[in-house]
Chains A and B, each alone.
Chain A
Amino acid sequence: SAVISQKPSRDICQRGTSLTIQCQVDSQVTMMFWYRQQPGQSLTLIATANQGSEATYESGFVIDKFPISRPNLTFSTLTVSNMSPEDSSIYLCSVGTSGGHQQFFGPGTRLTVL
């Protein structure tokens, strides 16, 4: 398994600002994923972030809104840019292990946009 930490655990932000969420893993992993969970909804994949390549975004998500960095095999950041109340969600990072056989999730970042 992998131990994953996220910072911040929660934040309340003003409309129009940006927030960067950090994800740290205790071991080297190739695949990292960023998910969004809107209130009362299930998880939606935002993008896949593999080290050494540009992040791959899912339909409905764009790099200008959700820029991602993956500088090494244990760390990634997701920025939520120009926030609106609709961005209020839990944002979760996860990692795939052993060829992606299993995914483990971080504790999540609870974002509220006023």
Chain B
Amino acid sequence: KQEVTQIPAALSVPEGENLVLNCSFTDSAIYNLQWFRQDPGKGLTSLLLIQSSQREQTSGRLNASLDKSSGRSTLYIAASQPGDSATYLCAVRPSDDYKLSFGAGTTVTVRA
């Protein structure tokens, strides 16, 4: 069974600092990995999708890397802003199924 771990569980930084969020998974036989953002009491917004054959994806200030063999992905958020405060979830889709396995999330607070 796929286990997805996100470290740290919570992170507080001053505005302008770069954020580094980690996601690890136990089974490297994945189809893709998605990073989501969730605001309190709300649904999930898809941020980045990385296919298993890719090493990274970028969107604006966001960059996600994937090292499938070591079971790791990292989400970088450059020059953080208070509006980046949210919980960030990573989810892994296995190569032989469509069901996502979620990590517990990292709750980010960016202080003005």
Contact = CB atoms under 8 A, between A and B. Distances in A.
Contact of B98 (A31, A104, A110): A31
A42 B105 contact: yes
Interface residues of A, number: 23
Nearest to A40: B104
Contact of A101 (B32, B43, B105): B32
If over half of B's interface residues share one DSSP class (helix, strand or loop), that class is named, otherwise mixed; here it is: strand
B40 to A, nearest CB: 10
Contacts of B91: 43, 103
A65 to B, nearest CB: 20
A27 to B, nearest CB: 16
If over half of A's interface residues share one DSSP class (helix, strand or loop), that class is named, otherwise mixed; here it is: strand
A14 to B, nearest CB: 21
Contact of B42 (A41, A45, A101, A107): A107
A106 B43 CA distance: 6
Interface of A: 1, 6, 31, 33, 41-43, 45, 48, 90, 92, 94, 96, 100-108, 110
Given A42-B89, A100-B93, A101-B32, A110 B41 contact: yes
A104 B36 CA distance: 10
Given A102-B49, A103-B34, A108 B102 contact: no
Interface string B7-40: 0000000000000000000000001101010000
Nearest to A104: B46
Interface residues of B, number: 22
B43 A43 contact: no
Interface in B75-112: 89, 91, 93, 98-100, 102-105
A92 B99 contact: no
19 contacts: A6-B43, A31-B98, A41-B104, A42-B102, A43-B89, A43-B91, A43-B100, A92-B43, A94-B44, A100-B98, A101-B31, A101-B49, A102-B32, A102-B46, A103-B100, A105-B45, A108-B42, A108-B43, A110-B41
